[in-house]
Amino acid sequence: MNEFFRIDGEVLFRSFDSETLRIEPWGPDSIRVRAVRMGDVMTDNNWALSRKNASESQIKTENNTASLINGKIRAEVTAAGKLVFYNKKGDILLEEYARNRRDLFSKDCSALEIEGREFRSIPGGDYTLTARFESNPTEKLYGMGQYQQPYLDIKGCRLELAHRNSQASVPFVLSDSGYGFLWNNPAIGDVVFGKNVTEWKALSTTQLDYWITAGDTPAEIVESYADATGTVPMMPEYGLGFWQCKLRYQTQDELMEVAREYKRRKLPIDVIVVDFFHWPKQGDWKFDRDYWPDPDSMIAELKEMGIELMVSIWPTVDRESENYEIMRQRGLLVRTERGVRTTMEFQAPTVFFDPTNPESRDFVWGEAKKNYYDRGVSIFWLDEAEPEYTVYDFDNYRYHAGTNLRIGNLYPLYYAKTFFDGMQKEGQQNVVNLLRCAWAGSQKYGALVWSGDIASSFESMRNQLSAGLNMGIAGLPWWTTDIGGFHGGNPDDENFRELFARWFQWGTFCPVMRLHGDREPHQPQFGTTGGCKCLSGAANEVWSYGEKILEICTRYMELREKMRPYLRILMQQAHEKGTPVMRPLFYEFPEDKTSWLIEDEYMFGDSLLVAPVLEHGGVKRKIYLPAGASWKEYETGSVFDGGQFIEAEAPLESIPVFLRDGRNIFNL
C-alpha cells in the first residue's frame, strides 16, 4: 500500500505532512469526509448527522490512488491528496479544485499553488477553512435553506452561511448531476457557487466536515439526506387546518372575541396565537396578569371550541426580568466579547439565553412548562430563533459550546431542541413548534419554519415561493409564511387587498396555512405597563378585508378543509421519508428537462400542481404542465396533455390549480 494511505476497518485515511484526511461510508450510497491539520480527526460530534446507518462498502488501493466504494458512490483520493467523487457509471459527481505542482502529469499541474482544502491559521488556534470544488457551468443547484431572493436554481449565487431575520442557512445542496452535498459545519462563513469554482468557507473552525450522497432521482437524494439527518415527527391534526394570528392581541378579551367570532361565522380554525409581549418583562416567560387575568379559563374555552392556543416565546432576557440575575450567575446567557453585555435592544436592552448550554435549556423549559405547558399550551412560537442581533458582529458573541464564529449557526437547532426535549419528556409524541430559523437537522426537533419579517409586496411573495421550495429540498418539509407579508399593509387599501387575496390563495397550498402580519394603522396603546408598552397592528382577521375578500378567503379555507385526508398523506411522507410537502416540478418529473427550468409553480404533494399569481393585476398566467401526465384544471374541469405550456385564466377569485391524471384529492 502507498505510504500515504491507511485502512482501519471501513475507514480510509490519507496522511501527509500536517493533514489527516478521513473518508468513510455514512449510510447507503453516501460518504463522509473529515480533515484536520496538526491533530486527530474529531469523531465525538456529528453536528447535523444524527446517526451512521448501515452500508456495504469496500476500499481499494492501486499505485498512488486509494478509493472507497459505497453503493452508488465512489471516492477516489490521490497520493497528492486530491479527492474526486464518481457515480456508479463512472461519471464525475464532484471534484476538488486544486492547482499546484504535485501531480506533474495531471491537468491540475499549475504554478498557482491553490489548495482544494485550505486551512489558514487564525491567531489563537482555529483556522479559516476553504474547500474548493470544480464547477460545472451548466449544473443546476437547489436547496441551501431560505434566502430573500427569487432564484430557485442557486447556481451562480453567493450565499452567506449565517442566519438573519428572514434568512435561514441550511447548508445542503442538491445537484441535477445526481448528488447531494451537506456542509456539516455550523461556523459562520459563505459559499460561492461560481461558474469557474465552488467555494465553501468557514471563518473559524478546526475541522473540515462534509457529507455527500449519490442518487438516481432528486427524491432518492433527499430521502438519503433525511435518513442521515432525521425527519420531522408526524404533524398533529391541528397542523392541517387554518391558523389565525396578528401582531398582536393585547388582551385575553380581545383574543377570545376573535376566536368566538370565527365560530359564530362557522369559519374553520385550528390554532389561534398569543403573540409577543404578553409577558411582564422579556425573560419572564409567563402571562402578564394585568391583561391576561385568567389563562386557564381562556385555554379551556378554546379547547371546547376545538382551537389550540400557540404562545410566543422570545429568547431575550431583560435585565429587569425576574430571571435575569439567576441566569447570569449560573452562566445561562450569551456572552459578549467586548462592550456592554447586550445582544438585542427591542423594547429594552436584553441578552439571549444560551441554548447550547444544557442547563440553560432545562431552565427555560422549566419556566415555560410551569407557566404555559402545565396549563394546556402544547404549541410554542419560538421567535427570534436566529437569533436576531441588534448588530450582526458575529465575532462579538460567545456560547457555552464555543464562539459564534465557530458554532453560531447551531442556535436555532438547540432552541428547537430545548422545547422538543421538554415536551417529549412530558409524554407528547407529535411535537410541532414554530421557529423563525433552522439549521440542518432542525426538522427532527419538530421545527416548523416560517420565512420571517418579510415585506408586504408581490416581489416579497415571489421570493417566498423560492424560499419554501428550497427549504423543502434542504430537509425542512414544514414551512410557512406570514400570509399577506409581515411589514405593513392596510386592510382598507384595495391594492393590499389584492395582494392579501393572492397570498391567502397560495397559503392554502403551503404546508401550514397561517395568517399573520403587522397591519397599518397601529392600534392605540392599550396599557402603559408590562408587555402592553409594545404597540399592536390593525385588525388582521379574514373579515377585516371587506366582503369580497372574505368570500375568497372562506372558499379557500373550506378548500383546505377538503384537503385534510390528502394533507395527512403528505405529512406521513414527510415524517417517514423526509419528502417535501411543497416540491419543485423536477422532484416529481426528473426526466422532463423543462421541469428543471420552471421556478414559479410547484407540486403540492405528488397530485396537485399549483401556479400562484405573483404580480399585481394578474388575471392570466403562463403555466407549464409536465410531460408524463395529464392535467385537469380544478376550476374549469378542462383536461390538458402534459409537456406543454398553456395560458390559464386567473381572476382575483382563484389561482390556477391542476390535478394530476384526474386524481381528486378533495374527495379522498
pLDDT tens-place string over residues 57-111: 999 998 889 999 999 999 999 988 999 999 999 999 999 998 886 665 566 677 7
Please report whether residue 345 resides in a domain: no
Mean pLDDT over 537-559 rounds to: 98
Please report whether residue 530 resides in a domain: yes
Please report whether residue 192 resides in a domain: yes
Do 661 and 541 lie in a common domain? no
Burial zone of 637 (CB within 10 Å; 0-12 exposed, 13-18 middle, 19+ buried)? exposed
What's the CATH number where 20 sits? Answer: 2.60.40.1760
What's the CATH number where 661 sits? Answer: 2.60.40.1180
Do 416 and 384 lie in a common domain? yes
| CA distances (Å), origin 529, targets 212, 511, 525 | 54, 38, 10
Q: Which of 436, 399, 444 is nearest to 417 (CA)?
A: 444
Q: Which of 85, 121, 81 is nearest to 100 (CA)?
A: 81
Query: Which of 196, 213, 229 is the last residue in one of the domains?
Result: 229
Confidence of residue 662 (pLDDT cuts 50, 70, 90): confident
Q: What percent of the chain is predicted at pLDDT more than 90?
A: 91
Please report whether residue 325 resides in a domain: no
Enumerate the β-bridge partners of residue 352: 316
CA distance 199 to 166: 24
Q: How far is CA 586 from the centre of its chain?
A: 20
Query: Which of 196, 229, 262 is the last residue in one of the domains?
Result: 229
| CA angle, residues 218, 569, 263, in degrees to nearest 5 | 130
Torsion angles phi and psi, residue 70, rounded to 5: -140, 95
Please report whether residue 334 resides in a domain: no
Mean pLDDT over 146-154 rounds to: 98
Q: Which of 262, 280, 281 is nearest to 271 (CA)?
A: 262
Do 224 and 282 lie in a common domain? no
Whether residue 200 contacts residue 186, with contact meaning beta carbons closer than 8 Å, is answered with no
Tell me if the pTM is above 0.85.
yes
Mean pLDDT over 223-247 rounds to: 98
Find out whether the peptide bond into 123 is cis, omega within 30 degrees of 0: no
pLDDT at 101: 65
Do 383 and 299 lie in a common domain? yes
Mean pLDDT over 622-633 rounds to: 98
Do 123 and 179 lie in a common domain? yes
Among 1-10, 137-146, 185-194, 285-294, where is mean pLDDT lowest?
A: 1-10
Do 558 and 658 lie in a common domain? no
Do 298 and 223 lie in a common domain? no
Q: Which of 236, 308, 244 is nearest to 275 (CA)?
A: 244
pLDDT tens-place string over residues 184-230: 999 999 999 999 999 999 999 999 999 999 999 999 999 999 999 99
pLDDT at 152: 98
pLDDT tens-place string over residues 437-486: 999 999 999 999 999 999 999 999 999 999 999 999 999 999 999 999 99
| CA angle, residues 633, 639, 644, in degrees to nearest 5 | 90
Q: Which residues are catalytic?
A: 383, 386, 453
Please report whether residue 331 resides in a domain: no
Whether residue 284 contacts residue 314, with contact meaning beta carbons closer than 8 Å, is answered with no
Whether residue 95 contacts residue 84, with contact meaning beta carbons closer than 8 Å, is answered with yes
Please report whether residue 337 resides in a domain: no
Gyration radius from the chain CA atoms:
26
Whether residue 485 contacts residue 514, with contact meaning beta carbons closer than 8 Å, is answered with no
Please report whether residue 329 resides in a domain: no
Indicate whether 282 pLDDT > 70. yes
Do 556 and 662 lie in a common domain? no
Contacts of 128 (CB under 8 A, 6+ apart): 119, 120, 122, 201, 202, 203, 204, 205
pLDDT tens-place string over residues 11-20: 999 999 999 9
Query: Which of 229, 254, 277 is the last residue in one of the domains?
Result: 229
Do 484 and 622 lie in a common domain? no
Q: Which of 49, 35, 29, 22 is nearest to 172 (CA)?
A: 49
Q: How many domains does the chain have?
A: 3
CA distance 225 to 212: 9
CA distance 565 to 557: 15
User: 15 is written with which cell numbers?
Assistant: 496522511
Indicate whether 306 pLDDT > 70. yes
Structural domain of residue 416, as residue ranges? 237-315+354-575
CA distance 33 to 129: 14
pLDDT at 545: 98
Mean pLDDT over 235-253 rounds to: 98
| CA distances (Å), origin 174, targets 58, 227, 475, 661 | 25, 15, 11, 28
CA distance 366 to 150: 41
Round the average pLDDT of the chain to a whole number and report it: 96
pLDDT tens-place string over residues 41-51: 999 999 999 87
| CA distances (Å), origin 206, targets 52, 133, 185, 186, 407 | 22, 20, 10, 12, 11
pLDDT at 2: 65
Q: 110 vs 167, which has greater pLDDT? A: 167
Indicate whether 556 pLDDT > 80. yes
Do 305 and 203 lie in a common domain? no
Indicate whether 4 pLDDT > 90. no
Do 592 and 544 lie in a common domain? no
Do 633 and 658 lie in a common domain? yes
